Structure 1
Amino acid sequence: MKICLLTEGSYPYVTGGVSSWIQSMMTNMPQHEFIIVSISAKKEQEMVSRYEAPKNLVKIYDIYLDSFLEENIESGKRYDILDEEKEAFRSLIGGKEINWPVLFNLLVSDRIDSILNFLASKDFFDIVYDLCKKEFVHVPFTDMFWALRSMVLPLFICIQQKIPEADLYHSVSTGYAGVLGALAKHQYHKPFLLTEHGIYTREREEEIIKAEWIKGYFKDIWINYFYNLSNCAYEYANEVTSLFEKNREIQIELGCPREKTRVIPNGIDVARYNVKNREKKDGIHIGAVIRVVPIKDIKTMLQSFSIVQQELPNATFYIIGPTDEDLEYYHECLDLAERLELKNVIFTGEANVSDYLKFLDILVLSSISEGQPLVILEGFAMGIPYVTTDVGGCSELILGTNDAFGRAGTVVPVMHFHLMAEEIIEIVSNQEKRKEYGKNGLNRVRELYTIEQMISRYDSCYERWSNTTWPE
C-alpha cells in the first residue's frame, strides 16, 4: 500500500515527538511505501533532514508557505466567481457551514491563475466588502482586507499544490495538513485518516490569545478560522485517532463525530532500553529531554532549578535537545540562567539521549502544551521517574488509568515552578520513593506502551480502509 503522510512544521526538518513518531511508523511498516508531504513556514537556504530516510520512504514533497514572495502580482483582475463560491469564501471566515467541495473545486481549477492575483482581485475585494457590510460593520475595511488576506494565503498556497496520488492519506494534525487530507479524499476518492498528537485548534488558540501582532477584535476571527479548518478535517476523515482518552473527548466536543474516533496510544521499542545499563554517578543529576522553544517553557524549569540548587547544591541540570529552532528564546533562557546565578546547568544541544538516560536520577517536563510525550515513555523504559506539568496525556502516563502499576512520578500545574521544585527535591531526596516510581513507570511502559502494540493498531487501521473508494 502507498500511504501519504501529511505533516506540518515537523518531519523531516524538525525534531520532536511527532517527527520521531513518523520515523517509527515508517521504519516499523516495511510492507508499505510512504510519501511525505511536508508543510514548512518558510524555505531556508538549506532545509536539512534531521532523520535518516527509511528505504520505504519513496518521496518527500515540500510546501513552503513563503513561496509567494517569489511571485509577481497582477491586481484588479476579475475571475467571474459564482455566488455559491463567494458564499463559500465568506463562510470560511465568518460562518460555520462551509461548502468545502465548492472551495476545493475552484482553487484547484484552471480558473485561478495565481493565488496572489486572486487575493488582489476585484472578486476578493467584493468578498471582503460583503463580509464587513454584513458581519463586521465596526471593523475598518482596510484592516479587514489585509487581515483576511494574510489569514487565507497559507491555506490557499497549500491547496494549490498538486498532491501526489496514494492509496491512503494520513494527516498527523488538523490545520493546513488536515485540509490537504480532506482535499486529497475529495480529489482522488481515497480514504483519509487523521491522527492528532495534541489538539491543534487549542494550541493555535493559545498562541493567538498571546499574540501581540493580532488586534483584539481579530483574535476571535482567527480562532474561529482555525476551528473551521479542524472541522474540515473531522468532516472528511474516515477515522480520527488520538493518543489518549482526554483528547478524544476534546475532539468530540469540537465537533468530530464520536463514531469516527478511537484511541491509539504511543509506543516505543522497549527492547532498546536496558535498565541494567544504568550507572550511578556522584551527585544528583536532573534531566529534561526537550526542544528549547517557548511551548516547552524552559524558563519554568530554570526557575525551578534555582530553588532546587539552594536545597541541593550538588545537583546538575541537563537540558538535552536542539537549541537552534528558536535562537531568540534560547538566548532568553541563557540570560535567565545568568540572572538566577544558576550553576551546573548544561544545554547539551542535539545529543544522544541514551547516553544521559544511563545516569539521570529524575526527568522533568514543564511544557505548556503536549500530546503524549515519547520522552516520558523513554524515561520510564530506563526506570527513571518524572515530574511533569499537567498537560496532554502526562497525568495519564504518570498516574495511570486505573491500572495496577502505581504512580511513576508527580504532576504539577503549568508554570508553578515552586511546586515543581518541591516535587523534584522530594523525589531525589527519597531513594526508596525514587526506585518505586521508576519501577512503576517501567512496568507500565512494558505492558501498555510498546511499539509492537502501536504498529499493530495502525496497520489494522490501514488495512481496514485499504480497499475503500468513493464514487465521483
Structure 2
Amino acid sequence: MRIGLLTDGGYPYATGESRLWCDRLVRGLPQHEFDLYALSRSAHQEEQGWVRLPPQISRVRTAPLWTSDDDALRGSSPKGLLARVLTGAGQSFGRRERRRFTEHLTELAATVCAAEDGRAGSPVAGVRFTEALYGLAELARERGGLHTALRSETTMRVLESACRARGTGRIVQTATVPDLLTFAAELERVLRPLSLDWYDEEGLGAVDLCHATSGGAAALPGLLAKRFFGVPLLVTEHGVHLRAHYLATPGEPFTAPVRALLAAFHGQLAAEVYRQAAIITPGNTHVRRWQERCGADRATLRTVYPGMAADRFRGVGESADDGGPDTLVWVGRIEPAKDLIALLHAFAEVRRAEPDARLRIFGAPVPGAEGDAYLATCRALAAQVFPDEATGAHAMGDNPVSFEEIGGPDVPDLAEAYAAGGVVVLSSVVEGFPISLVEAMFCGRATVSTDVGAVVEVIGGTGLVVPPRNPRALADACIALLRDPERRARLGSAARARALELFTVEQNLAAFRGIYLELISRSPAWREADAVDADGEPRPFATPPEAHVLGHWTVTRKPTAVPAGSGSRPPSWAEPEGVCANAGAGDGDG
C-alpha cells in the first residue's frame, strides 16, 4: 500500500512536532510504502535539517508555510501593511478568473464572518464554506496558485464587505482596515497548500491513502486529494488543532476582531476536515470530545493512544527499589502551564508535615526569554519559601528543593530521574496527553496529578488526582503517599501494568496496521493506467482474482474514471453480495 503522510511543522524536520511518533509509525510498518508531504513553519526549522529517514519513505516533497516577509507583515504599521498586501494586486488572472476568485472568496468570507465563535455553524454554512474552499482550490490548480490574489485589493474589498454585512458577529463588525489587512495576510498563509503542485497523477493522485498527522493546514492536501482523485483521508490528532489555536491566540499580537475571524475560519476548516475524513484517530478521549464538539461524527472516531517506548524504562520498572521514599520528583519542560509555583507552595505544606521530604525538579526552561524568566521566578520563590535552607543545583546536603537537568553524572538519563523518588508529581494547569505521567507509570511509580487534559483517562485509578491550582489538595495527596509505602508500591505496580497494556509502540502500530487495511478495503485503488505496462500489455496482478469470479459473488460493472471533484473512487473489483466491505480487514500485512 502507498501512503501519503501529511505533516505540518513536523516530520521529517529535526525540530518538528510528533516526529518521533511518525518515525516509529513508518519504521514499524515496513510492508507499506510512504510518500512524505511536509509543510515547514519557519526558516529556522528548515535550517535545523531532517532526521534520518527510513527506507520505507520513497519520496519526500516539502513546501514552506511561511515567507521571508511574514514576520515583517506582522510587525508592520497599518500603512506599511497596506503597501505590502496590495503588492499582489497584479495577479495575472483574466476577467473570468477574477470573477470566479471574487465569487468563491465572497462565499468563504461570508461564512467566516457569520460564525465568529469558531464553531461549525449550520449545515448550510458548512456547504457554502466547502464549495468556496474547493472553488478556490480548483482555481489555484488551474492558474498555478493564489498567493498574490489573496493579498490583493480585491481580497480587501471582499473582506470589508463581508464584515459589514447584516448578520455578521458583533466583534467582527468592529474590524478596522488594519485588522482586515492582518487577517488577509494570515488567511493567505493558512491557504498556501491550495497553491502547491502536489495535486496530479504523479503526486497525491498516486497514493492509496492520505494520512494527515494533524488537522488544519496538514489536512488541506488530503482534502484536495480526496476531492480531485477520491483518495481516502485518515486524520490523526494527538492534540486538537483548533484547541491549540484558541490557546495560542491570546499571546499573538492580534486584536479581538482578528482573533474572532481566525477562530471562525479554523472552526469551519476543522468541521470540513472531520466531515471528509473516513476515519479520525484522536490520541485520547479528551481530544475526542473536542473533535465531536467541532463536528466530527462519532462513527468515524477511533481512539488510538500514542505509542511510547517502554524498553528504556524496563530496568527501573522491574526493580524493587522504591527510589527515595521521602522524595517527590517532577519531570518536564519548565514553563507557566506546568504551574511549578503551585507545586512549590504545596511542597512547603509537605515539608511542614514531613520534615525529611525533598523535591527534585528535573527539566529545562522552554527556549526563549519567557522560559528563562519563569525558571528564575521559580528559583526565587523556592529561596523565599525556604529562607533558612539554600536551594542549589543538586539535591545534596540540606537542600529541600533542587532544579536539575538530565544528563549529568548523578542522573545520566530520563529513567534515572524517575528512579530518584518514590512519588512522581504533575502540577499542570494545561495538559494534552501527559507523556511524563506515562513514563512514570512505565517506571512503576505512584503518581499525584492535577485533573487536566487526559490525565484521568491515562491514570485510570492507578494514581491520585487533585484539582489544578490547589496547593493544599496537592500537598495532602503527596503526604498521603509519602506516609504509606505499601500503597505506593500497590499503585506503582498497577500503573506499570496499565501503561504496558495501553501505551506502548506495539499497540499503536497494531491499531494503524488494521486501520490502513480497513480503509483500503473500503476504497480499493484503481487506476486505468496501472492495469497495463509501458508497452500496453496487461500488468500482472493489476486485476485481483475476485474480479473474475462469476455468479452471485460479484456484481458485474466496468470501472470508470473518477471525475474531478466527485470525492469517490471506483472499485478495483466488485464487492461480493452480502459481504461486509471491511470483512477480513485484519488479515494479512497489506
| TM-score bucket of the superposed structures, by smaller chain | 0.7 to 0.9
Taking only aligned residues, the RMSD between alpha carbons, in angstroms, comes to 3.2
Q: Is the 8 A contact 1:277 1:358 kept in 2?
A: no
2: distance between equivalents of 1:20 and 1:417? 34
- Is 2:224 aligned against 1:183? yes
SS of equivalent to 1:108: helix
Structure 2 regions of 5+ residues with no counterpart? 73-83, 115-124, 392-400, 526-561, 565-590
Q: Hey, what does 1:43 align to over in structure 2? A: 43
Match of residue 161, structure 1, among 177, 196, 206 = 196
Any residues of structure 2 matched to 1:64-463 within 5 Å, and which?
A: 64-69=64-69, 74-77=87-90, 79=93, 80-82=98-100, 84-91=103-110, 93-95=112-114, 96-97=125-126, 98=129, 99=131, 100-110=133-143, 112=145, 115=147, 117-134=148-165, 135=168, 138-163=173-198, 164-165=203-204, 166-208=207-249, 210-211=250-251, 213-272=253-312, 273-274=314-315, 275-277=317-319, 279=321, 281=323, 284-308=326-350, 311-312=354-355, 314-320=357-363, 323-341=365-383, 343=391, 344-348=401-405, 352-398=413-459, 400=460, 407-463=461-517
Residue range with higher mean Cα deviation, 240-249 or 290-299:
290-299
Instruction: Verify the 8 A CA contact 1:40 1:64 in the aligned structure 2.
Output: yes
Does the Cα contact within 8 Å between 1:385 and 1:434 map onto a contact in 2?
yes
Task: Name the CA distance, whole Å, in 2 between partners of 1:51 and 1:43.
Answer: 16
What is the Cα deviation at residue 230 of structure 1? 0.9
Query: Secondary structure of 1:363's partner?
Result: strand
Determine the C-alpha separation between the residues in 1 that align with 2:444 and 2:209. Answer: 38
User: Cα gap change, 1:395/1:157 in structure 2, threshold over 3 Å: closer, same or farther?
Assistant: same
2:6 corresponds to which letter in structure 1?
L
Distance in 2 between the 1:50 and 1:365 partners? 32
What TM-score results when the alignment is normalised by the length of structure 1? 0.85
The alignment covers a number of residue pairs equal to: 461
Q: Distance in 2 between matches of 1:220 and 1:381?
A: 42
1:316–1:345 CA contact under 8 A, matched in 2: yes
Q: Is the 8 A contact 1:77 1:122 kept in 2?
A: no
CA displacement 1:279-301 (0-9 Å, x = unmatched): 45556443334234444445444
Give the percent of matched residue pairs that are identical in Structure 1 and Structure 2: 22
1: CA distance, partners of 2:405 / 2:324: 19
Summarize the Cα distance change of 1:58–1:418 in structure 2 as closer, same or farther, 3 Å threshold. farther
Amino acid at match of 1:390: D
User: Offset at 1:142?
Assistant: 0.7
Q: Distance in 1 between matches of 2:563 and 2:356?
A: 68
Q: 1:101 to 1:33 in 2, by over 3 A?
A: same
Cα drift, residue 102 of structure 1: 0.9
For residues 297 and 158 of structure 1, the distance between their equivalents in structure 2, rounded to whole angstroms, comes to: 37
CA gap 1:27/1:318 in 2 versus in 1, 3 angstroms: farther
> In the superposition, relative to structure 1, how do residues 40 and 330 fare at CA in structure 2: closer, same or farther (>3 Å)?
farther
With over 3 angstroms needed to count, the CA separation of the structure-2 counterparts of 1:123 and 1:212, relative to structure 1, is closer
Shift of 1:253: 2.5
Q: Is the 8 A contact 1:16 1:291 kept in 2?
A: no
Describe the superposition over 1:200-246 as per-residue Cα deviations: whole angstroms up to 9, x where unpaired: 222322333x3363323443322222211211211221111123344
SS at the partner of 1:414?
coil
CA–CA distance in 2 between the matches of 1:10 and 1:366?
27
TM-score (norm 2): 0.69
Q: 1:128, 1:145 within 8 Å by CA — same for their partners in 2?
A: yes
Task: Give the C-alpha shift of residue 463 in structure 1.
Answer: 1.2
CA 1:450–1:332 in 2, change beyond 3 Å: closer, same or farther?
closer
The structure with more radius of gyration? 2
Contact in 2 for aligned 1:197/1:372 (Cα 8 Å): yes
Measure the CA separation in 2 of the matches of 1:16 and 1:430.
42
Provide Cα deviations, 1:145-185, integer angstroms capped at 9, x if missing partner. 22322331321223323445333221222122122322232
C-alpha contact 2:336 2:374 (8 A) present in aligned 1: no
SS in 1 for 2:18: helix
Contact kept in structure 2, 1:292 and 1:325, CA below 8 Å: no
Give the corresponding residue for 1:403. none
**CA–CA distance in structure 2, aligned partners of residues 221 and 64 of structure 1:** 23
Distance 2:12 2:110 in 1: 34
What is the SS of the residue equivalent to 1:411?
Answer: strand
Determine the C-alpha separation between the residues in 2 that align with 1:346 and 1:256: 43
For 1:372, the aligned partner's letter is F
Aligned-partner SS, 2:268: helix
Report the 3-state secondary structure (helix = DSSP H, G, I; strand = E; otherwise coil) of the residue aligned with 1:287. Answer: strand
Give the CA deviation at 1:10. 3.8
Q: Contact 2:193/2:217 (CA < 8 Å) preserved in 1? A: yes
Counterpart-to-counterpart distance in 2, 1:91 and 1:416: 44
* Matched letter for residue 188 of structure 2: L
Other structure's SS at 2:4 match:
strand
